[in-house]
Chains A and B, each alone.
Chain A
Amino acid sequence: MISETENLPKPFCITSGNSDMDPRPPKPSYFFRETLGRHYTTLCGGIIILLTVVMVAFVAVKGLAAFVGAHPISPLQFLFSSQWHPDASASEGGPKFGALAFIVGSLSVSGLAVLFSAPLAIAASVLIAIIAPKSGENFIRPVLELFTGIPSVVYGWVGLSLLVPFIRNHFPGLGFSLLAGSLVLGLMILPTITTLTTDALQALPISFTEGSYALGATRWQTIYRILFPAAGSRILIGITLGITRAFGEALAVQMVIGNSVQIPGSVFSAMSTLTSIITMDMGNTISGSAWNNAMWSMALLLLLITFGFIVIIKVLGAQRTVKRGSNA
């Protein structure tokens, strides 16, 4: 494979930069040997920055439109009121855009999902990384990776056809509930969190375990006194990534939570999330209307809360580096 390429490949041939062409024809110019390739890869990096900036800028501009203009929504009302009456006429007191029910809904459904799946994920990752590393690596981990790829609509569909009727028949309420949503999300993020926590445990130096065993500690003592604290921030990063994924999920939750605009009073009550209301109302409202703008504000809010999660991950990551630096 390597020997086959005698002449230099020119994968992205653009005719320019011939000025420093070497007089001998067989040897291509420095441009083709180095500059072009380097510039191409730099350009790719630039595209990624550009894309991110443009995307954030556009969503921000659209999202802020609701708070300015002819009929501005008060940002405080948007964030802290649960009065969602986008279609109320002037006689009914005018439209009200309080998104609190959606914000609380999104946070509670993803928080509860992590509460369900994190303990199970951590326990399973101990099995994979420490107790049975061979079968863990050869069997459980591939299975988990397989499941990280399952489409979220499939999770939603199973939730709708299996979980919702089950909850309806055995618990109070209608089945469509916070519980159903968080169980579906919990199952969905389970493989992700397990894989990440396993990575965290496996990344620990051998000396930690060996030293602990040499001092006569049992495996359980080693795990919870040495390994968990040492891998703590990485495990937390894994859990935060799990929340981030659950938080941004739209269709799987929308199918099972009932979409009532209310702050859920119990795990059995129906609720809405930021993503579910966007899915339902975005296409049916007129672009540029206050109602539609409020949808964009929610998209911006989703973006900002996601940034919050990224910052948490960054801080946790920084802690890890500091710790490692001081230990070394």
Chain B
Amino acid sequence: MPEIKEPIEKSEAAGHTGAPQHTPSAFHKTRSHRTAFAADKLATFFFCAAGIFLVSLLFLFAGYIIYSGRESLTFHFLTSPPRFMQRGGGVGPQLFNSIYLLFISSVFSIPIGVGAGIYMAEYAKPNTITKSIRLSLETLSALPSIVVGLFGLLIFINVLGWGFSIMAGAMALMILNLPVITRVAEESIRNVPSSLKEGSLALGATHWQTIWKLILPSALPGILSGVILVTGRIFGEAAALLFTAGMSSPHLNFGDWNPLHYTSPLNPFRPAETLAVYTWKVNSEGLAPDARQIADGAAAVLIITVFLFNILARYIGRVLQNRVRSH
């Protein structure tokens, strides 16, 4: 819970933002000043109430989802395939699809995103190209995800003829992911102290050698935790996947890990319904009698996974930070 302090006594704890210690004087006893203090107290109360309300709203929200889905959070639910018109189906293939899709899209988006981040932080000169990249990044990050999905439908399904597939979905997710990864990489690289860079350049290393050997390793904790955070967000994406990865999950053979086989879960050219899409679809087309329960469970699994990503990102960021410091 946020600790709430009286404004008068808080200058030391709050640093620069605290109110100063007022010495009692005749001036302070004037009426207008008393009103000002009352208004200040009232405002403080209001801000604290708003903050507490917001945090409790979010906690209630998460609590409600996990509570409603609690009965579904079993090993069986997480691993077994959905059943048609019967009770007891799970979300196994969907969960797998979500993770696999995430992996494939990262394979494409991380190298390009980090590369572009390096360019923006290190090589970019203040010219038109840099400006266009900046504008492109802003455009990409503001795009409605359904528009990205439709673009995917146009290019990957209609033009390239891939069919609804993991690959098409991964490309759509890559487009959503790129601007965020680029920004994270650029910011982390900019945060690296410039003394490090100047020292290396002075010793005769090229700019790229400096980047690769010094700057990237120091920026890695930031990049990595940022990347995990954004991939966690992409995990729940649905609108961009409706018309790219598709809304069906074919029969998968989890004993066959050859990506060239059609029933192999690893085949990147099979349609793949993700957990988020399934959550959306099950409450609409769900014919199973326990559709409501499945949707509750799927929603709970979704937010727990997102939370796990978040914790993982923080943990990795901290561990790597310590390692970099100790070297």
Is the A/B pair a real complex? yes
Chain A residues engaging chain B, CB cutoff 8 angstroms: 1-3, 5, 8-9, 11, 30, 33-38, 40-45, 47-49, 51-53, 55-56, 58-59, 62, 120-121, 123-124, 126-136, 139-140, 142-154, 156-158, 160-162, 187, 190-191, 194, 206, 209-210, 213-214, 216, 218-224, 241, 244, 247-251, 255, 275, 278-279, 282-283, 287, 296, 299, 302-303, 306-307, 309-310, 313
Q: Mark B24-63, 1 if CB is under 8 A from A, else 0.
A: 0000000000001101101110111011011101110110
4 pairs of A and B residues whose beta carbons are closest in the complex? A151-B236, A248-B144, A44-B115, A123-B50
With A and B bound together, what is the CA distance between A45 and B44 in angstroms? 46
With A and B bound together, what is the CA distance between A144 and B212 in angstroms? 34
Known: A2-B327, A132-B5. Is A220-B20 also a contact (CB below 8 A)? no
Give the residues in chain B near A49, CB-CB below 8 Å.
129, 132-133, 136
Query: Nearest Cβ in chain A — how far from B108, in angstroms?
Result: 10
Give the residues in chain B near A247, CB-CB below 8 Å.
144
Determine whether the beta carbon of B243 is less than 8 Å from that of A283: yes
Q: Closest residue to B1 on the A side, CB-wise?
A: A135
Determine whether the beta carbon of B279 is less than 8 Å from that of A157: yes
Query: Nearest Cβ in chain A — how far from B304, in angstroms?
Result: 11
Query: Nearest Cβ in chain B — how far from A180, in angstroms?
Result: 15
Query: Nearest Cβ in chain A — how far from B18, in angstroms?
Result: 8
Q: Closest residue to A275 on the B side, CB-wise?
A: B146
A-B contact pairs, 22 of them (CB 8 A): A34-B206, A47-B112, A48-B179, A51-B140, A52-B135, A52-B136, A55-B143, A120-B50, A132-B4, A132-B51, A149-B309, A151-B235, A153-B302, A157-B299, A206-B16, A220-B42, A221-B39, A250-B146, A275-B144, A296-B150, A299-B147, A299-B150
Determine whether the beta carbon of A279 is less than 8 Å from that of B239: yes
Give the residues in chain A near B112, CB-CB below 8 Å.
44, 47-48
Q: Closest residue to B148 on the A side, CB-wise?
A: A55
Determine whether the beta carbon of B150 is less than 8 Å from that of A248: no
With A and B bound together, what is the CA distance between A34 and B205 in angstroms? 9
Give the residues in chain A near B118, CB-CB below 8 Å.
41, 44
The contact of A48 among B1, B137, B306, by CB within 8 Å, is: B137
With A and B bound together, what is the CA distance between A24 and B148 in angstroms? 50
Give the residues in chain B near A158, CB-CB below 8 Å.
61, 64-65, 299
Q: Mark B1-31, 1 if CB is under 8 A from A, else 0.
A: 1111101000001111101101000000000
The contact of A255 among B130, B146, B151, B280, by CB within 8 Å, is: B280
Cβ of B237 under 8 Å from chain A: yes
Choose among B2, B4, B140, B243 the residue with the greatest number of A CB atoms under 10 Å from its CB: B2
Count residues of chain B with CB under 8 A from any CB of chain A: 114
Give the residues in chain B near A275, CB-CB below 8 Å.
144, 146, 239
Cβ of B264 under 8 Å from chain A: no
Give the residues in chain B near A146, CB-CB below 8 Å.
306-307, 310
The contact of B40 among A3, A221, A306, by CB within 8 Å, is: A221
Q: Mark B273-297, 1 if CB is under 8 A from A, else 0.
A: 0001101100100000000100110
With A and B bound together, what is the CA distance between A307 and B62 in angstroms? 33
Q: Closest residue to A136 on the B side, CB-wise?
A: B2
Restricting to B248-292, which residues have a CB under 8 Å from any CB of A? Answer: 276-277, 279-280, 283, 292
Cβ of B209 under 8 Å from chain A: yes
Known: A44-B115, A220-B44, A282-B243. Is A150-B3 also a contact (CB below 8 A)? no
Give the residues in chain A near B208, CB-CB below 8 Å.
33-38
With contacts A35-B208, A131-B4, A139-B1 known, what are 17 further pairs, Cβ within 8 A? Answer: A33-B209, A43-B115, A56-B139, A124-B47, A127-B2, A132-B5, A147-B58, A150-B302, A157-B65, A158-B61, A160-B283, A190-B57, A218-B19, A218-B36, A219-B43, A241-B142, A302-B146
Query: Nearest Cβ in chain B — how far from A224, in angstroms?
Result: 8
Query: Nearest Cβ in chain A — how far from B237, in angstroms?
Result: 7
Query: Nearest Cβ in chain A — how far from B142, in angstroms?
Result: 5
Q: Closest residue to A300 on the B side, CB-wise?
A: B147
Q: Closest residue to B48 on the A side, CB-wise?
A: A127
With A and B bound together, what is the CA distance between A142 and B315 in angstroms? 13
Restricting to B203-219, which residues have a CB under 8 Å from any CB of A? Answer: 206-209, 211-214, 217
Q: Closest residue to B16 on the A side, CB-wise?
A: A206
Give the residues in chain B near A51, CB-CB below 8 Å.
136, 140, 175, 178
The contact of B13 among A37, A134, A151, by CB within 8 Å, is: A134
Determine whether the beta carbon of A154 is less than 8 Å from that of B236: yes
Chain B residues engaging chain A, CB cutoff 8 angstroms: 1-5, 7, 13-17, 19-20, 22, 36-37, 39-40, 42-44, 46-48, 50-51, 53-55, 57-59, 61-62, 64-65, 68, 111-116, 118-120, 122-124, 129-130, 132-133, 135-140, 142-148, 150-151, 153-155, 158, 175, 178-179, 182, 206-209, 211-214, 217, 229, 232-233, 235-239, 242-243, 276-277, 279-280, 283, 292, 295-296, 299, 302-303, 306-307, 309-310, 314, 323-324, 327
Q: Closest residue to B218 on the A side, CB-wise?
A: A2
The contact of B182 among A48, A148, A161, by CB within 8 Å, is: A48
With A and B bound together, what is the CA distance between A162 and B299 in angstroms? 14
Determine whether the beta carbon of A310 is less than 8 Å from that of B139: yes
Known: A55-B175, A134-B3. Is A223-B115 also a contact (CB below 8 A)? no
Q: Closest residue to B138 on the A side, CB-wise?
A: A310
Give the residues in chain A near B123, CB-CB below 8 Å.
38, 41-42
Give the residues in chain A near B178, CB-CB below 8 Å.
48, 51
Determine whether the beta carbon of A123 is less than 8 Å from that of B46: yes
Query: Nearest Cβ in chain B — how far from A137, in angstroms?
Result: 10
Determine whether the beta carbon of A249 is less than 8 Å from that of B144: yes
With A and B bound together, what is the CA distance between A140 and B54 in angstroms? 9
Determine whether the beta carbon of A129 is less than 8 Å from that of B142: no
Query: Nearest Cβ in chain A — how far from B150, in angstroms?
Result: 5
Give the residues in chain B near A131, CB-CB below 8 Å.
4-5, 14, 17, 44, 47-48, 51
